[in-house]
Amino acid sequence: MKKIILSFGLILMFILKINAEELSPFISCGTVSGDIKTVKESIKTKLKAKGFTITGGYYVENKGNFFVITFTNKDLQSTCLKVKDRGILAANLRIGLTKKGDKVEVTALNPKYMFVGYLGSNYDTHKAILTKVDNSVKAVLKQINPKYTYFGGKVEFSKLKKYHYMFGMPYFSDPVELKEFDSFEKAVETIKNNLAAKKGNTRMVYKLVYKTSKVAVFGVALHDKTTGEAKFLPIIGEKHLAAMPYEIVVIGKTATMLHGRYRFALYWPELTMGEFQKIMSTPGNVEDTLKGLTE
């Protein structure tokens, strides 16, 4: 009898394992003919037709062959604002473009992956709206390639809700505090002015500011050649460029950022510890750069 029970238990575990949903961080639409300028304008038109607003875009690594488009919509913003613990970080979606000869490779950050990683159990609460947004993005991607594929590793849905790379590594709920200001308005003004001045060789990619909620998020291009994107992306994988830009989020009077050892691990889950060791200084470098924008 014990053997039967044990066998049944093992079979059940096997079935649950097979049925466990796994998500990948990125989507590939293959390549399309044209240059980055032509392709990005075509994609922007498709996004707008689906009700999205373009929030920004920039040349990643400050190179002409890498570009990221950032976008959002009203439903996504209002939903993310309901998640008080930095949920607004999930409000900006991304599509990456990489020039390859006379073609452009189109990739995208998988919306559902980001929603689950950043919103955690709140994803279930707002699943209907988030699924609608996810489907709208993928409808645009299908116009580029009906047979798009996923890449970048796989993480089980349940683990992604409380993602961390390994024991001792930070979670989403372990942000880095950059600075506490006297007011929300002072925080936004300081960061905006420093980005306008390109302090630390940064650029503002996008900003979403909600004065009534006292919430803001800034997408920041890291263009320093020795510590920024041009330093770490070639090491860990430029195909994941749609993970960029990095963000500063302001909630009330406090400016924070996601810990680098959480954020890089989230979007490069396949990397080995040995590969992460090659960018050991990067989380600290990013922290120093973003902290500089709050001073």
Kindly report, residue by residue over 186-198, the tens digit of the pLDDT: 999 999 999 999 9
- Residues 9-45 pLDDT 10s: 544 444 444 458 999 999 999 999 999 999 999 999 9
- Residues 285-295 pLDDT 10s: 999 999 999 99
Query: How far is 79 from 88, CA to CA, in rounded Å?
Result: 9
| DSSP three-state, residue 71 | strand
* Angle, in degrees to the nearest 10, between helices 127-144 and 111-119: 150
Task: Please identify every stretch of the chain with a pLDDT value under 70, giving residue numbers as ranges.
Answer: 1-19
Please name the helix (run of DSSP H) or strand (run of DSSP E) that holds residue 221, with its range, or none: strand 215-222
Number of H helices, E strands in the chain: 12, 13
In this structure, CATH architecture of domain 21-161: 2-Layer Sandwich (3.30)
Q: Which residues contact 135 (CB under 8 A, 6 or more apart)?
A: none
pLDDT (0 to 100) of residue 16: 43
pLDDT (0 to 100) of residue 19: 53
Please name the helix (run of DSSP H) or strand (run of DSSP E) that holds residue 16, with its range, or none: helix 2-19
Q: HSE of 75 in the Cβ direction (CA atoms, 13 Å)?
A: 13
CATH 3.30.310.70 domain extents, the chain: 21-161, 176-292
CATH superfamily, domain 176-292, is TT1751-like domain (3.30.310.70)
Q: How far is CA 274 from CA 168, 186, 269, in A?
A: 16, 41, 13
